[in-house]
Amino acid sequence: MLSDAASVDVDASRQDVAEKLGLWLSTLDTLQLHAAHQSIKAFAEETPAHVRAATSHPLEEDVHRVRSAMVQAITANGAAKAIETDAGYAPYRQCYLEQQRHIESKIASLRSHVRQVLSRASPQLKQLAYLDTVMDQVIGGREQRLMSTVPVLLEKRFEQLRRAQPDGWHDTFRQEWQDVLLAEMNVRLQPVVGLMEAFSNEVKKSP
C-alpha cells in the first residue's frame, strides 16, 4: 500500500538476499561477523548434549503473550481512533512513533529472553543465540533507520487518500495506518519467531 507513495523500485526488490545483505555490511560489520564465527566454533567444541530437559511450550506461550499484547495495543489505540478528520497528519505521526517505541521495547526484551533460554538449552542453540546477538548489533541500526522512514511514507499516503477520496478517506487511512503498524510488528518479530522455531525443533528431536 505504501509502494505507490514511495515509488519503490520493483527490480531492486528482487535482488538476491545475500547481495542485499552485502550492501548493508561495512568492513567493520564483516570483521564482527568473522569474530562471531570464531566464537561459535569454540561453542561447537563444547561437549555435545541433547537439549536440556525442557519443553518449547512455555517459550511459545511467552512469544504469543507478548505478541497478543502488542496487537491489542495497536488495534485498540484510543488516541488514533479519536483523531478528527481535519486534524491533519501530525497526530498520526505522534501515535505511530509512540507505538514504534512500544513495539521496539517489548520485542527487545522478548528477544533477549528467548536468547537466554536457547543459551542454556544446548551448545548448538547457544551458537544460534550468540549469532543472533551479533546480527542484531550489525543490522539493528540499519533496521531502525529503515523503520524510521515508515511515518514519512504514511504521510504521503495520507495526502494521497485525502486528495483522491473526499468521502470516507479518513477511515480508509486509519485502517491502513493500523495495518502498517501490525506489519512492522511482524517484521520485527521474525528473528524471535525463528529462534523459537529452532528451539522447538531441537526439543522435538531430543529423546
Contact at 8 Å (CB) between 107 and 6?
no
pTM (2 d.p.)? 0.76
**pLDDT of amino acid 189:** 94
Per-position DSSP letters for 43-74, written without gaps between them: HHTSPP-PPPS--SHHHHHHHHHHHHHHHHHH
Per the structure, the count of domains in the chain is 1
State the pLDDT at residue 141.
84
pLDDT at 152: 95
CB 130, CB 36: distance < 8 Å? yes
What's the pLDDT score for residue 85?
Answer: 78
Point out the residues of the chain with pLDDT beneath 70. Answer: 1-56, 207
pLDDT at 7: 45
Task: Give per-residue burial for 168-191: e unless 16+ CB within 10 Å, then b.
Answer: ebbeebbebbbebbeebbeebbeb
Q: What is the pLDDT of residue 12?
A: 45
> What was the pLDDT predicted at 140?
83
Range of the domain at 74: 3-205
pLDDT (0 to 100) of residue 35: 54
**In angstroms, what CA-CA distances link 124 with 49, 51, 95, 128?**
9, 9, 41, 7
User: What's CA 11's distance to the chain center, in Å?
Assistant: 24
